């Protein structure tokens, strides 16, 4: 009888462990980078920016996202906040680019912003942080934060 109970206990523990290993909780969090920042022509006194986020999936399984909320600090020149609400699928061991347009009153003047460009690549130092909302059951949020440099493209007025 004890052998049967012990064997049953081992089977249950094995099933629980196998179930956890295959769950999204066992996945590494996708990496988030700002791959492009585009300064768009002014609209109604606000300065819009085109933002492209690069999401890199380090997992051998796809990752389904519901949304990404983010804020980007642009060195000492200000910050941007935005949200990408469209669902996205990150392929296994692959990348996806998500684009959005945000407006900000929290960015220094364009001339000050341009003065912070560094090096021959015209790159701005940035820190991006936020939350990815996973399309899982139960829903799960993953926090992210990364520093880097992003090129600044300037669109001509229409």
Give the 3-state secondary structure of 68-126. Answer: EEEEEECHHHEEEEEEECCCEEECCCCEEEEEEEEEECCECCHHHHHHCCECCCCEEEE
C-alpha span between 99 and 105 (Å, rounded) = 20
Fold classification of 28-154 is Immunoglobulin-like (2.60.40)
Indicate yes or no: pTM above 0.85.
no
- Summarised one tens digit per residue, pLDDT across range 6-61 is 444 444 444 444 344 334 456 788 999 999 999 888 887 778 999 999 999 999 99
| Per-domain residue ranges of the chain | 28-154
- Summarised one tens digit per residue, pLDDT across range 56-106 is 999 999 999 999 999 999 877 788 999 999 888 999 999 999 999 998 776
């Amino acid at each position: 009888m004890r052998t049967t109970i012990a064997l049953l206990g081992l089977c249950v523990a094995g099933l629980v462990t196998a179930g956890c290993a295959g769950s999204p909780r066992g996945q590494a969090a996708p990496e988030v980078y700002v791959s492009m920042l585009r300064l768009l022509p002014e609209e109604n006194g606000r300065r819009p920016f085109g933002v492209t986020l690069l999401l890199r999936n380090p997992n051998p399984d796809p990752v389904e996202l519901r949304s990404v909320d983010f804020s980007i600090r642009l060195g000492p020149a200000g910050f941007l906040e935005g949200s990408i609400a469209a669902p996205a699928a990150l392929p296994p061991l692959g990348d996806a680019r998500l684009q959005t347009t945000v407006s900000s009153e929290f960015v220094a003047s364009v001339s000050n912003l341009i003065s912070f460009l560094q090096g021959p690549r015209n790159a701005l130092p940035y820190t991006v942080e936020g939350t990815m909302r996973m399309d899982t059951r139960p829903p799960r949020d993953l926090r992210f934060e990364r520093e880097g440099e992003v090129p600044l493209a300037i669109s001509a007025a229409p």
